Amino acid sequence: MISKTIEQALNAQINAEFWSAYLYLSMSCRFASNGYKGIANWFKIQHREENDHAYIMIDYLVRRGGKVTLEPIADVPSEWATPHEAFADTLKHEQKVTSMINALYAAAEAEHDYATRQMLNWYVAEQVEEEDSVQEILDSLMRIGNDATGLYQLDLELAKRTYTAPKAE
């Protein structure tokens, strides 16, 4: 049986994961409508991954005898002036999610909830990957600067990203 403290913390993280998904869907729509099909694709896949992150936690919470409580999703931004601005916001957001996962891990540790801590190990590693992936794109955007050809090439590269369902356990 899972403690009420961890149940509440997991429910808050589930909401945060769905908010992240909604944010990335908003970014995808924004760049799709501006002709950046590759960037839109990258964010659309990110949207799917964030939904999966929430579903993994939902399944875990149910398996541990907890109650899933879905809260409303807060509004997300819908405008970014440039791809660089969107990816900079993405990095800041992923860093915030990392701190949230770390706090959840610390709560599981404080509760001596080793099963939840074990489940969260995957999320800890996933956040390292998330931040690294976005930083690589930001580094490319910094090198590209205002070069339209470079941005076109990056957009083509990001169009190649494919969805892979996570294997959390």
The structure's pTM equals: 0.94
| Nearest alpha carbon to residue 137 among 80, 82, 79, 87 | 87
- Other beta carbons less than 10 A from residue 113's beta carbon: 19
Residue type at position 96: K
For each of the chain's 169 residues, which pLDDT tens digit applies?
Answer: 899 999 999 999 999 999 999 999 999 999 999 999 999 999 999 999 999 999 999 999 999 999 999 999 999 999 999 999 999 999 999 999 999 999 999 999 999 999 999 999 999 999 999 999 999 999 999 999 999 999 999 999 999 999 998 876 5
E-strand stretches of 88-148: none
Residue (of 83, 84, 122, 93) closest to 105 by Cα position: 122
Distance, in Å, from the CA atom of 81 to the CA atom of 76, rounded to the nearest integer, reads 15
The domains of the chain, with CATH numbers, are 4-158 (1.20.1260.10)
